[in-house]
Amino acid sequence: MLDSKIPPGKLEDKWNDYKGHVKLVNPANKRKLEVIIVGTGLAGASAAAALGELGYRVKAYCFQDSPRRAHSIAAQGGINAAKNYQNDGDSVFRLFYDTIKGGDYRARESNVHRLAEVSVNIIDQCVAQGVPFAREYGGLLNNRSFGGTQVKRTFYAAGQTGQQLLIGAYQALERQVALGNVTMYSRHEMLDIVKIDGKARGIICRNLVTGELERHFGHAVLLCSGGYGNVFYLSTNAMGSNVTAAWKAHKQGAYFGNPCFTQIHPTCIPVTGDHQSKLTLMSESLRNDGRIWVPKKKDDPRKANDIPEDERDYYLERRYPAFGNLVPRDVASRAAKERCDAGYGVGTTKQAVYLDFKYNLINKYGKTEAGKQGIENPDQETLIRLGKEVVKEEYGNLFDMYEKITGENPYEVPMRIYPAVHYTMGGLWVDYELMTSVTGLYALGECNFSDHGANRLGASALMQGLADGYFVIPYTLGNYLADEIGTKPIPTTHEAFVEAEKAVADRINKLMNIKGKQSVESLHKRLGKIMWEKCGMARNAQGLKEAIDEIRALKKEFWSDVRIPGEINEMNPELDKANRVADFIELGELMCIDALNRAESCGGHFREESQTEDGEALRHDDQFMYVSAWEYKGDSDWQLNKEELNYEVIKPTQRNYK
């Protein structure tokens, strides 16, 4: 059933061999083939640009007012690549190895190796486009370190890496729009996939300005619609990020891979109250220079700066001396939760730990700068002043953001941080060619399940999005479309389009006619609470079972009591939200079912029943060395398909960052 289409041959030759033998479409035929791309984040914009350049007729969609605003824009810290510019022992193999290990041995070797191979091309491509990466004084590219690795391989543009990469891809996309190869549909939301004879042949979308439903044909459909972290209501994702595109595909036959694999990011600004609409990330790159600690004394009433050095517990450095503050995210998040649950948390809510820059401000940056400027025996004040200048250049925008949100100055007092939902490793199941289990339907970027296993390493999502879009799909899509050159564009009057549009219209009518009492927002918040408490940082069988019941009840409530003001045929953000939340509720149920099924801990999925003596995640490779690919059978009804994972090159071991 599940054919992952991994090419034969040695791991390091697979991708090259594949490229050498893949079917091609000649330029004249490319012009006759239409490709739909849902989403214009790094994955979608890069795919649209690359496929437009090749000569395909591309139609791209996003729900924001411009493709440049996709959520990728918010990525802060950086993008990995195995360039080894630092001469510190990096290589394609090491990036591959780190990613597999970081993912706690739940990713496919072949995909991850390909990712590591093309990582180097990404940087070159972006530089050529004019992406202003950080540089050293010699004019060459600079790197920083990220969690879960011991080399410096992360390329960055201050704390705005995602923005600069996306602007690069967006400009390449707009260039193709100008050349007539790409048609852009902004403020459009895809609400269903149209299948004809088992193949994806188009989409139904809602024009968010007029409210009208539209039918669009494509020889193939690519979903690049991002992650579903907002199922938790509070997350670091943008407000509009949602699962709808992927979920509709799922209901049309695309399997959902590892839905329960969510990443909780250790360093986010803590929740302040019920009004909170989203959580803000403080980039992982800050862990390069910040040290994480809590007071050694419970409920210590003193201000952070008044607590002397020997009364601070740098618990990551204590527990994980080899990686220290740079352990992977799942490990760092659980360690923070552990300290807070044990009563050592700080701030008014006690649900926070300190991220402190003072030490490196003085010792690392201050002293180096003083050395550079030839200042001998600098005093503390000079060191702090010099250090601040460097930190400002590296992270200025993040520090400003922190101050705007909290009203505290992180140059003076340590940041207060707490873990928050950030990324979803799970997503649509895809084979080596990025095709879902629906023929002609592809998934790229965060919306697919591939590459990151049970935990994603920092700075690897941007890499994956751009790898998928610039370097993988241009080859693999051709392999499919080569057999479609005889297919004439199907008119959207075809009954499959008519029926799909009708189903979407019926659902919208149904939603609008409930006319209940509760707002979409309040129901979404409740879903988020269930998910966070029972399917969040720590999970257990009992809680998950309860969560499933609670979500089913919530679904009933939603469909009988939601209130959506306004009308259908106009701009109606409440209706947009309702469409999304209805899908989130169904997804939430599947996530809990998946988490319940996976009775092991791995990566970000921590089952309390399965831990080592010192509280680390304990895998059960004998039972769970597989990808869960869930097949939709009907309302609240799924069948589990398993893709066994075969490790031919790497030997899975208990992850150890000590």
Ligand X SMILES: Cc1cc2nc3c(=O)[nH]c(=O)nc-3n(C[C@H](O)[C@H](O)[C@H](O)COP(=O)(O)OP(=O)(O)OC[C@H]3O[C@@H](n4cnc5c(N)ncnc54)[C@H](O)[C@@H]3O)c2cc1C
- CA separation for the pair 452, 77 (Å, rounded): 18
DSSP E strand boundaries for 14-92: 34-38, 57-61, 79-80
Binding mask 137-166 for ligand X (x = CB under 6 A): ------------------------xx----
Smallest separation, CB 450 to another protein (Å)? 21
Q: Does 575 bind another protein (CB under 8 A)?
A: no
Touching ligand X, residues 37-56 (CB under 6 A): 38-44
Smallest separation, CB 244 to ligand X (Å)? 5
How many other C-beta atoms are found inside a 10 Å radius of the C-beta of residue 273?
6
Q: Does 132 bind another protein (CB under 8 A)?
A: yes
Stretch that binds ligand X, among 61-69, 110-118, 301-309, 526-534 (CB under 6 A): 61-69
- 8 Å CB contact between 117 and 13: no
Q: Does 69 bind another protein (CB under 8 A)?
A: yes
Smallest separation, CB 240 to another protein (Å)? 5
Binding mask 40-59 for another protein (x = CB under 8 A): ------x--xx--x------
- Which single residue is written with the structure tokens 């390069």? 288
Contact pick of 8, 407, 486, 634 for another protein (by CB under 8 A):
407
- CA separation for the pair 522, 209 (Å, rounded): 25
Q: Does 209 bind another protein (CB under 8 A)?
A: yes
- Which single residue is written with the structure tokens 């400002």? 392
- CA separation for the pair 232, 476 (Å, rounded): 34
Smallest separation, CB 523 to ligand X (Å)? 20
Q: How many residues bind another protein (CB under 8 A)?
A: 82
Q: Does 375 bind another protein (CB under 8 A)?
A: no
Touching ligand X, residues 322-361 (CB under 6 A): none
Contact pick of 76, 258, 450, 628 for ligand X (by CB under 6 A):
76
Stretch that binds another protein, among 5-13, 120-128, 353-361, 424-432 (CB under 8 A): 120-128
- CA separation for the pair 532, 522 (Å, rounded): 15
Touching ligand X, residues 582-621 (CB under 6 A): none
- CA separation for the pair 431, 442 (Å, rounded): 9
Touching another protein, residues 176-205 (CB under 8 A): 177-178, 184, 186
Task: Report in angstroms the alpha-carbon separations of 554 from 248, 508, 525, 528.
Answer: 20, 19, 11, 11
Helix, strand, or coil here: 488? coil
Smallest separation, CB 337 to another protein (Å)? 23
CB contact set of 195 (below 8 Å; sequence gap of 6+) = 201, 252, 253, 438, 496
**Of 191, 231, 211, 250, the residue nearest 523 (C-alpha):** 231
Q: Does 483 bind another protein (CB under 8 A)?
A: no
Contact pick of 573, 612, 636, 647 for another protein (by CB under 8 A):
573
- Residue facing ligand X at closest CB distance: 41
Angle of CA points 141, 326, 290, to nearest 5°: 80
Per DSSP, helices labelled H in 298-423 are 315-319, 329-341, 358-360, 367-372, 380-406
Interface positions with ligand X (CB under 6 A): 38-44, 61-64, 70-72, 74-79, 161-162, 188-190, 224-227, 236-237, 241-242, 244-245, 281, 283, 422-423, 445-447, 459-462, 465
